[in-house]
Structure 1
Amino acid sequence: MTALRLPVFLVSRLKAPAFSLLWLLVAADFSAAVAQATGSLSVRVRDTDSHEPLIGVDIALVGADRKGATDLDGVLTFTDLRPGKFKLRLSYLGYNTKFMTGLEVAGGETTRLQIDLESFQAYATDDLVVSAGRILSTEAALLASRKSAGVVGDAISAAQISRTPDGTSGDALKRVPGLTVRGGKYIYVRGVTDRYNVTEINGVTMTGTNIERDRKSFNFDMVPSNLLANVSVIKTATPDMPGDFSGGLVRINTMEFPDRATTAVGISTAGTEGTTGESFFMDTARGDREWLAMDHGHRALPSGLADNDLARALPNRWEIRESDAPSKYSWNISHGGKTTVAGRDLGYMGAVSYRNGYTREDGFEQRKADVTYGGQDKFGIYQAARSEVLWGGLFNSFLRLGHGHRLGVSNFYTRSSDNTITTLQGEDSDKLFSWRTFDWQERYQFIEKIDGIHQLGGPGSGIELDWNAYYGESHASEPDRRYLEYNIDDPESPIMDENLRTWGWLDELRRGYRVDLTWMTSDDPEDSDHTTSFKFGLAQETKTRSFEMEAWYAAYTFAYQSFAFGLLSPDEIFASENFNETVDVRGHGFNFQTDRLNSGRYTGKWDLTATYLMADVPFGLFQEDLRLTGGVRLEEAGQFVLAWQDKFLDRPDTAMVDKRDLLPSVNLTWIYDEHTNLRLGYYQSVNRPEFRELAPVNRRNFKTFQNEFGNAELKRAGIENYDLRAEYFPGYGQVVAGSLFYKDFRDAIEQRVFPSPERSVLSWTNSPRGRNYGFELEVRRKLDRPAMLEDFSVSLNYTRVWSEVDFRDLFDGQDKTRPLQGQAPWVFNAGLQYDNPNTGTSINVLYNKVGRNLDKVGDSAITNIYLEPRDRLDLLVGQQIASGLKFKISAEDVLGQDILRTSGPEQEPYDYAVVEKGATYSLSVQYKF
């Protein structure tokens, strides 16, 4: 790792049009902050056991010189409070004194709080200090948490997601500053690809399960949005976080425990232009369990059979059935609450969510001739029909064992399927072609975690033991993928050119634990902002992954092609009687054979042990309040892969990476005042090769029709990360922020296209050096003046990114630079929200646009493939009809712009691929009781 260096040239890049607009909003926020409305705090106090109101409880606002006593209903209300954070002290004869810290009061609103006091008989303890339990499913609570955090980060809450048409966590994350979402499932943060991110679900690290894109990154389309409490994206590191992220640490937290028994039920239906009611491809292999995202077993590979015996045993399904595409629908139900068991608090939450969908895609693909490697022009009309199912469930619970002791259990399961039929017809050089694929893929993920928190000591000081242990399981299968291609020299006599049937399986098991021991001390026990903490932690994780692909094809002689079989339907061509033990001289029949090039398997094991020391120290310097959070993390990681390109070979190829990395991090926060923070962060991180990238086997990607080879010589990448952020919180649920960032990569891992006539060979390489830098701007503001706009709010965020990677052009042999693969140069999000609490009406207008980005790295600049920008506009209207009953109408992607990829010379690019898109309209009903 190199020494610290901040690029002075970064500032010169800030002259962007969006900067001026956001600066005006910043100025407006400062002026509006001068005259904020006051708020109120209403406190209701009960006995813990009987839940009877307590009369005459003394309540003091510490530091505000305000105090009083509860009335006959156990309630005391403080009015005319300035917006901000407060601390409460509650005392009552015969009961433990309790302190409440971290209470947020908003201008123009009444914050209501219910507190239970415990009698001396409950436990014999000193005064009890409790931080107010924040409901982190609201936007304001997340901003309050962000304000007090020691790192740079952003988040989106369940309340925000509910105001969008987003159906999965991947859909929702595109609203977060600095994030782009590829294919609805892969997250790019600040211009760096998904491989540089880490995803946690309820504190457990998870990776993706996708046969085609066997990679580290999590598939965010696997998590239904209505099971979420919030999703946060941490952009600077501390020693207690994983050391292998440099883009972002994405933390998914599922639904929270309500304070009282609550049940919610929701249903929705939707239709998409160009799909719903239109002609739609259906697979003749459909079964009665596909609605549960489970194959019915008819696609399974028969065991104990091979060659023609296997061919005759396989179902003969090559025809496409057409029908009208039905509407999409979804439903969800949840129930949770808190109760008392043997005098101890028990919280619980259970939820189930289900959704299905149908998508038809029409477009075209073309490749211009690459004369360097003897390429030919190719053009094809593309059509795909995709039916999807996604469902999941969770059950979480916790038990308080006594003062400062809590145990928790969380379980999360999600399952999905994708049934896609694709056809392409066109011209390749001087001949016509036609092909079709049938692809079924099912995936599931399961996470189980137990955790505990044990606090020892008095108010604001003592020792805290925080631990968890977990088990995770991921699975993907792709049974009986069928591919068939015809070459049509004579339209009256098509000739079958290629056929293939494959079966793929991917399994991953993950288990681990974490133990943190934190010592805390404070010079002000009533204020957590003055607490100094030192943490020592140990984490261990073991991951095993296995992948296998079997490919078979029907082989024939040239003599066979002269017969009229090519005029028959595929089901007649592949009839069982055509698979004979021998092929005679006239070509009567097929032989079913293993395709050794497209078959292969690998197994891998990954072990990680991490120890870390961390300090979080608030201090004063020159009469200014500062906070230092940082330390060092030591990671010892070992990867070992065994790979067989041919399942009939006994001796596998091997690959191994074994490294020890010392990773420092530091975050300095200048707390200018109660509304303003200035943050500076630096950390070192690594990026390790994945099993698939190391495994020296070939695998055919049937989405792109390219061959992917692993590279056993890959090295792990090292990254240095720098961050600077200024943030201003003018009021409740509002923020204005600006950030600068810079990342320096050594041995960055990227996928490249290698020289071939059709650019169809890909592998992974280390680029010697790369840089990524840019800025982020964000505004969330309530339009409280003039009065007619008080129910409106606006949100804007803009990210600008530059990146450079050093590489050698394989065409002219020159050393050059290009952008990082997948990096979007800019991302812009805007939202206008109307929320009238008197009428129960809400309207949300959302806009998103992503700049032109490098989709695939070619062997030279003119063979790179780029994804072009498109405008996306979403609308949502909600109406509260009665208590707990709400209707929502949404229109998603109403502009319906095509998805366009281009290639060729920068001055004269051509359309490489186009996919038509249509708007989706939905109606949903939610009832909560």
Structure 2
Amino acid sequence: MKKNTFLILTTAFILSMQSLVFGQTTGKISGKISDKKTGEALIGATVLVQENNKGAATNVNGEYNLSLPAGTYTLLVKYVGYQNKQISGIQVSAAKTTTLDVILEDASSKSLKEVVIKSTFGQESVNSLYAQQKNNAAVSDGITSETIKRSPDKSASEVLRRVSGATIQDNKFVVVRGLSDRYNNAMLDGTSLPSTEPNRKAFSFDIVPANLIDNIIINKTATPNLPGDFAGGTVQIVTKDIPDQNFISVNVGLGYNTNTTFKDFKSGYRNLSDYFGFDDGSRKLPSNFPSLNRIQSGAVNREQGTSALSSLNPNFNVYNFTSLPNQSYQVSLGRVKDIGKNGNRLGAIFALTYRNSQQTITDAKIDFNAYQFTDSKYKFSTSVGGLANFAYSYGKNRITLKNIYNRTFDDQYLYRTGFNESTGNYNRFTAFDLTEKSLYKGTLQGDHGFGGNSKLTWVGSYSNITNTQPDQRKANYALKLNDPNGYSADIFSLGKQNARLFADLNENIYTAQIDYSTPVNFFKQKSTFKAGVLSQYRDREYSPRFLGPVLGTSTDPAALQISYLPLNRIFSRNTINQGFYTLADQTLPADPYTAKVYTNSGYAMLDNKFGEKARLVWGLRVEKFNLRLVDKDIFINDALLDDLNFLPSANFTYAVTPKANFRLSYSRTVARPELRELSEGSYYDYELLANVRGNHNLQSTQIHNVDVRYEFYPGSGQIMSVSGFYKNFKNAIERTNDDKLSTTDIVYFNTAEANTYGVEFELRKTLDFISGGLKNTTVYTNLALINSTVSDPNLNNLPGGSRPMVGQAPYVINAGLLQTAYNNKLTINALYNRVGPRIFSAQGTQYPSIYEASRDVLDVQLGLRVQKNKGEFKLNASDLLNQNTSFYYKDDISTYHLDTGGAIINRYKTGTSFTLSYSYTF
């Protein structure tokens, strides 16, 4: 381990010693050579400079690189079986890289002599972009690094807002075609990403810096070489490894929120290490704390219990601060070294990111069932991350090592006041809730080219996820009827409103895969055969402790008097050492769990071309999925899944014109339960006022997908398309309200059948057809209209026999206007988003489904490049309309206050945010 660390540091040091520029008179031309019809990289293609006969061969990814003196050049590109292409007018500037991607066409079998196709730099840039847009085998949408460079986006989540059909929730989670995040899959650098959330299947895309992204593609239909567990879309992010040129980039940003900044901010105690994303250990459960078995078996006497309680952190003080502006910092370093004269290259990219923010919500309303509460929330958040990518390209081979790490620290203080009709008491509830999350992913990959454009790729990946709640503390004071002494604490029993939760989750994921592709002749047409295998192993351990002090009796006057002490004294060591408290631990046997998951898969596929216009990508993926989740309750059976899934898919494309495609596709995919959804353990969510528990009987969802699409590319980076889609779900996994008891349980279950169908319209077009003066104005929008129904003979509470799917929005609207001026130095971007009302939790016994209301979101981004385009100022205004986020019962319930067609459960505003940042690239 130490040796590997030394080698990495040595490599980084050598690369960092290289000069920051190529030289005073030298520049570069680099790009990718690919097949016009399929987009496949052409390995070993020859690129010759006509002026000096200097040349280079493409590597295993079809990439080439040429170092040349500043000037204007003509390139000749050759590859066996393809027509040669000559591109003129390529301008090379000192200390800069000119990017030129080239597409080659098949040589005509009837041609008796060599044919050279002539093109210019501008023409070929447009041609290659057309080919990239059109040639994806599946129905997909994406965004390239060039587009990202021209945008003010700072993270992958912000970039994804520009991709057709994608919507971002909470500034980090992606929704595709209105389907909930559980039906989407995330991939980073070729392998699947784990969920960053402990209680849902979702990946937080805000952890990936935008300037380190090479491209993002969302596949909306399946192909055999993609993981089969999705229905909405597979989001593929590829980070950079070998940079075009050496660089150092620094970004600094400050943010203002209308709810929070420069206003009063309340918090529990704060340590210096909190600002760096790490608890200093003062909140952790002491290592010598009595075990669960000892406490519950009665082996801990009162004196020992008092000693144990006294070892817990006693600081329940509430501190008042003035909220400071949000801060963000990022430093990125790229180094590249050409080795020898054969085009070998060694490159590395490093990045460090830091963000600190504070969020206040002071008037969140809860008004349903027996509760009429007002919440004030104060969240302190720190995020730190790092990226270190290395790559070595030699001949037809390429080895990459990619590493990404991110850690988030979210510390929330909540104060709730209001009336509980079921108890007849007024309440003052306090919660101190810290959550620490981390993600590390390391990927080692090798790509090797062989004769005839064959390619072998192997990948080994390791991921680790942690989620820790070191000391969630909750306390409730109640004003009881006719109590002259005022508010007293509910500490005569340990329950959902009086406890301390210590929880640790740790998950490891190991992945290995091999893919092979080779050209074949099929019906006398050039085709490509691909095959691969994958094996993945996951293990997770979740260990909670639910404990706290309890007053032994409410009849002792001295003990009773303690219940009237203020929060900063009632759990102090002086109070605990008086001996009135007993130590209680109500952790249930079903709460902790361990899980092991094995996924083994293999696929084979053919990419067939039929004539000049037709293409069929088809094949079969087989996945063997084994899961065992063990709750430590001997009366609960283990959750077991042993699935063998055959997942065929076919994607047909017909080139109606050189600028238009017609697509038709079918695929079968699956959606599997997340581990937390299978655990019978119960977790009280004080924000939802409900217990959340899993169901160990959940089964995987089987999904049939049909898509049809017509797409037209009127110009470079422009598209107009219309799509239709249909999805059939067997055993769809949904959550419902189990509201038979006084406290609602949110549980997961399988519905018998669900169907979703819809249409999607997309437009991205410059307005130069209106006026030549609008050639730098681009309008883009996509609209999805979706209908979904759930039918289940076992559910007798479905209104009218059916309802929409949980999490499925009936419509999604994204729209934007992009204006560039002064040779792209000024960028103005306005974004609008609206997602239709969708079910958060399905109907229970007493109450109807809980819906999340629609809201209009308007963002504006301005960018100004300065200092010869090396510096840039960006001003982002997020959520300018600042509309309510609302959850409500949709049906008319006369006993509740009505809004948006139903009784409000929760309603709040997060405020409008303004962020000013400055970046400079050396």
Q: TM-score interval w.r.t. the shorter chain?
A: 0.7 to 0.9
Write the distance in 2 (CA, Å) between the matches of 1:902 and 1:491.
Answer: 37
Gaps of 5+ in 1: 1-40, 76-82, 90-97, 113-131, 135-140, 370-376, 583-588
Write the distance in 2 (CA, Å) between the matches of 1:164 and 1:912.
Answer: 38
User: Contact 1:809–1:859 (CA<8 Å) still a contact in 2?
Assistant: no
User: Contact 2:152–2:862 (CA<8 Å) still a contact in 1?
Assistant: no
- 1:818 match: secondary structure: coil
1:182 equivalent to 2:173? Answer no
Name which of 549, 552, 559 aligns with 2:547.
552
Counterpart position of 1:923:
916
User: Contact 2:142–2:163 (CA<8 Å) still a contact in 1?
Assistant: yes
Name which of 246, 249, 254 aligns with 1:261.
246
- 1:858 match: secondary structure: coil
How far does residue 422 in structure 1 lie from its aligned partner after superposition? 1.0
Pair 1:787–1:165, CA change in 2 (3 A)? closer
- 2:562 match: secondary structure: helix
Q: How does 1:521-600 map to 2 (within 5 A)?
A: 521=520, 531-556=526-551, 557-559=553-555, 563-579=560-576, 589-597=580-588, 600=591
- 2:802 match: secondary structure: strand
Pair 1:100–1:290, CA change in 2 (3 A)? farther
Counterpart position of 2:4:
none
How far does residue 524 in structure 1 lie from its aligned partner after superposition? 15
How far does residue 757 in structure 1 lie from its aligned partner after superposition? 4.2
Name which of 325, 328, 341 aligns with 1:327.
325
Kindly provide the CA deviation profile for residues 334-368 of structure 1, in whole angstroms up to 9, marking residues without a partner as x: 12242124553112212222211111012333343
Write the distance in 1 (CA, Å) between the matches of 2:120 and 2:366.
Answer: 58
Moved more, 786-795 or 220-229: 220-229
1:423 equivalent to 2:415? Answer yes
Counterpart position of 1:17:
none
Pair 1:892–1:755, CA change in 2 (3 A)? closer
Counterpart position of 2:40:
none
Write the distance in 1 (CA, Å) between the matches of 2:654 and 2:119.
Answer: 22
Structure 1 residue identity aligned to 2:238: N
Counterpart position of 2:613:
625
1:722 equivalent to 2:711? Answer no
How far does residue 843 in structure 1 lie from its aligned partner after superposition? 1.0
User: Contact 1:84–1:105 (CA<8 Å) still a contact in 2?
Assistant: no
How far does residue 828 in structure 1 lie from its aligned partner after superposition? 0.8
Write the distance in 1 (CA, Å) between the matches of 2:121 and 2:656.
Answer: 20
Write the distance in 1 (CA, Å) between the matches of 2:755 and 2:767.
Answer: 39
Kindly provide the CA deviation profile for residues 799-834 of structure 1, in whole angstroms up to 9, marking residues without a partner as x: 111111124697858872111111111111111111
Q: How does 1:97-496 map to 2 (within 5 A)?
A: 111=125, 141=129, 144-158=131-145, 160=147, 167-211=154-198, 213=199, 215-284=200-269, 286-306=270-290, 307-341=305-339, 344-369=344-369, 377-402=370-395, 404-429=396-421, 430-457=424-451, 461-489=452-480, 490=483, 492-496=485-489
Counterpart position of 1:122:
none
- 2:226 match: secondary structure: coil
1:876 equivalent to 2:861? Answer yes
Structure 1 residue identity aligned to 2:616: L
For normalisation by structure 1, the TM-score amounts to: 0.81
How far does residue 478 in structure 1 lie from its aligned partner after superposition? 0.9
Counterpart position of 2:518:
519
How far does residue 703 in structure 1 lie from its aligned partner after superposition? 3.2
Pair 1:276–1:672, CA change in 2 (3 A)? same
Kindly provide the CA deviation profile for residues 822-863 of structure 1, in whole angstroms up to 9, marking residues without a partner as x: 111111111111112437221111111111111222305953
1:853 equivalent to 2:850? Answer no
Pair 1:236–1:638, CA change in 2 (3 A)? same
User: Contact 1:480–1:501 (CA<8 Å) still a contact in 2?
Assistant: yes
Pair 1:470–1:906, CA change in 2 (3 A)? same
Structure 2 residue identity aligned to 1:896: N
Q: State the Cα RMSD in Å.
A: 3.5
Structure 1 residue identity aligned to 2:345: D
Counterpart position of 1:835:
820
User: Contact 2:621–2:647 (CA<8 Å) still a contact in 1?
Assistant: yes
Write the distance in 2 (CA, Å) between the matches of 1:64 and 1:615.
Answer: 24
Write the distance in 2 (CA, Å) between the matches of 1:196 and 1:666.
Answer: 20
Write the distance in 1 (CA, Å) between the matches of 2:645 and 2:119.
Answer: 41
Write the distance in 1 (CA, Å) between the matches of 2:151 and 2:589.
Answer: 42
- 2:132 match: secondary structure: helix
User: Contact 1:446–1:474 (CA<8 Å) still a contact in 2?
Assistant: yes
User: Contact 1:809–1:860 (CA<8 Å) still a contact in 2?
Assistant: no
1:658 equivalent to 2:642? Answer yes
How far does residue 308 in structure 1 lie from its aligned partner after superposition? 2.8
How far does residue 501 in structure 1 lie from its aligned partner after superposition? 0.4
Q: How does 1:632-671 map to 2 (within 5 A)?
A: 632-645=620-633, 653-671=637-655
Q: How does 1:662-681 map to 2 (within 5 A)?
A: 662-681=646-665
1:59 equivalent to 2:105? Answer no
- 1:539 match: secondary structure: strand
Counterpart position of 1:778:
762
How far does residue 50 in structure 1 lie from its aligned partner after superposition? 9.9
Pair 1:340–1:915, CA change in 2 (3 A)? same
Moved more, 230-239 or 167-176: 167-176
- 2:498 match: secondary structure: strand
Write the distance in 2 (CA, Å) between the matches of 1:524 and 1:66.
Answer: 27
The share of aligned pairs that are identical, in percent, is 27
Write the distance in 2 (CA, Å) between the matches of 1:73 and 1:850.
Answer: 46
Counterpart position of 2:24:
none
- 1:564 match: secondary structure: helix
Pair 1:901–1:104, CA change in 2 (3 A)? farther
User: Contact 2:255–2:914 (CA<8 Å) still a contact in 1?
Assistant: yes
Counterpart position of 2:891:
905
- 2:592 match: secondary structure: strand
User: Contact 2:49–2:75 (CA<8 Å) still a contact in 1?
Assistant: no
How far does residue 187 in structure 1 lie from its aligned partner after superposition? 2.5
Write the distance in 2 (CA, Å) between the matches of 1:684 and 1:905.
Answer: 35
Structure 2 residue identity aligned to 1:746: K
Counterpart position of 1:26:
none
For normalisation by structure 2, the TM-score amounts to: 0.82
Kindly provide the CA deviation profile for residues 706-763 of structure 1, in whole angstroms up to 9, marking residues without a partner as x: 2222222111111101111111111111111111111000011111111334452122
1:788 equivalent to 2:773? Answer yes
Write the distance in 2 (CA, Å) between the matches of 1:892 and 1:813.
Answer: 38
Pair 1:320–1:158, CA change in 2 (3 A)? farther
How far does residue 695 in structure 1 lie from its aligned partner after superposition? 2.1
Write the distance in 2 (CA, Å) between the matches of 1:200 and 1:320.
Answer: 42
Write the distance in 1 (CA, Å) between the matches of 2:101 and 2:436.
Answer: 49
Write the distance in 1 (CA, Å) between the matches of 2:119 and 2:582.
Answer: 75
User: Contact 1:224–1:391 (CA<8 Å) still a contact in 2?
Assistant: no
Pair 1:850–1:71, CA change in 2 (3 A)? closer
Write the distance in 1 (CA, Å) between the matches of 2:347 and 2:233.
Answer: 31
User: Contact 1:723–1:739 (CA<8 Å) still a contact in 2?
Assistant: yes
Kindly provide the CA deviation profile for residues 23-72 of structure 1, in whole angstroms up to 9, marking residues without a partner as x: xxxxxxxxxxxxxxxxxx99987456994669998737999998599999
Write the distance in 2 (CA, Å) between the matches of 1:539 and 1:576.
Answer: 55
How far does residue 195 in structure 1 lie from its aligned partner after superposition? 1.4
Write the distance in 2 (CA, Å) between the matches of 1:333 and 1:190.
Answer: 35
Write the distance in 1 (CA, Å) between the matches of 2:306 and 2:397.
Answer: 65
Counterpart position of 2:801:
816
Structure 1 residue identity aligned to 2:196: T
1:890 equivalent to 2:876? Answer yes
Counterpart position of 1:138:
none
Counterpart position of 1:603:
594
